[in-house]
């Protein structure tokens, strides 16, 4: 039986490897490992050309983490702490997500991927979460995950994958959902009330989490995505 083809979006950033220092299309290898471990075949989708046209050739889609979305997309002025905005990536991923949702393609959003889903459907974002919750636990230090619990909503797809009780997960985000888009349901929260997972009720499998499951020990959410693939 062939592995479901899982497209996963990626970053475009300055990078250094072997003897080279150049702009690269890149993705933390943990995504690749988790998709393969869950039984999928990972295919990296750079934000170039027309990736939305590939939806018919995919079995599932992951919109990965990354820099902040341009606030103009949700009608807000840019906060000085909003950073690493790549508008060409916004353009590619919003088009890709729209095509995937229209096609009923199984979808998993990771960190930025949750924010793309919420904004694409008409929601807004807190541009700097510490101003809202009063602490930096969701992004404790540059390049370091913060581990803290989230509470899945019983009966949700997230709860079916991870269980109903509090689950410690790796966080690295300074933005989060402000106004929830119509059609989305909150399916996990942090102890401080931050929205940590959403699902699109009208879609066969559209789940997005604000944390980083690729950095977790288990691969349950990736398994759930692969299991939802035709």
3-state SS record for 131-163: HHHCCCCCCCECCECEEEEEEECCCCHHHHHHC
**Cα–Cα distance for residue pair 82/147, rounded to 1 Å:** 23
Query: Average pLDDT of 24-46?
Result: 98
Look at residue 124 in the predicted model and tell me its pLDDT: 98
Catalytic pick from 93, 196, 199, 214? Answer: 214
CATH code, residues 5-228: 3.40.50.880
Q: Where are the domains of the chain?
A: 5-228
Query: In this predicted model, what pLDDT tens digit does every residue of 7-23 receive, in sequence order?
Result: 999 999 999 999 999 99
Query: Average pLDDT of 128-145?
Result: 96
Q: Does the annotation mark 214 as catalytic?
A: yes
Catalytic pick from 111, 138, 173, 196? Answer: 111
Q: Does the annotation mark 126 as catalytic?
A: no
Supply φ then ψ for residue 51, to 5 degrees: -60, -25
Catalytic pick from 10, 212, 219, 220? Answer: 212
Residue 169 pLDDT exceeds 90: yes
Q: Does the annotation mark 138 as catalytic?
A: no
Residue 174 pLDDT exceeds 90: yes
- Which residues, in sequence order, are CB contacts of 192 under 8 Å at separation 6+? 133, 134, 135, 137
């Amino acid at each position: 039986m062939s592995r479901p083809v899982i497209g996963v979006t990626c970053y475009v950033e300055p990078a250094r490897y072997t003897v080279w220092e150049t702009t690269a299309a890149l993705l933390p290898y943990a995504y690749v490992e988790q998709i393969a471990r869950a039984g999928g075949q990972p295919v990296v989708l750079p934000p170039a050309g027309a990736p939305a046209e590939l939806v018919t050739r995919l079995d599932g889609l992951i919109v990965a983490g990354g820099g902040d979305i341009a606030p103009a997309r949700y009608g807000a002025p840019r906060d000085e702490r909003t950073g690493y905005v790549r508008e060409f990536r916004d353009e590619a991923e919003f088009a890709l997500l729209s095509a995937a949702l229209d096609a009923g393609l199984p979808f998993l959003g990771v960190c930025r991927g949750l924010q793309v889903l919420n904004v694409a459907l008409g929601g807004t974002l807190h541009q700097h979460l510490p101003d809202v919750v009063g602490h930096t636990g969701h992004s404790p230090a540059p390049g370091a995950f913060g581990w803290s619990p989230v509470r899945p909503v019983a009966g949700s797809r997230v709860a079916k994958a991870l269980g109903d009780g509090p689950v410690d997960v790796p966080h690295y985000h300074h933005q989060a959902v402000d106004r929830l888009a119509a059609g989305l349901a909150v399916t996990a929260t942090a102890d401080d009330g931050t929205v940590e997972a959403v699902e699109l009720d009208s879609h066969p499998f559209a789940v997005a989490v604000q944390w980083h499951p690729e950095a977790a020990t288990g691969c349950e959410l990736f398994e759930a995505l692969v299991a939802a693939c035709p």
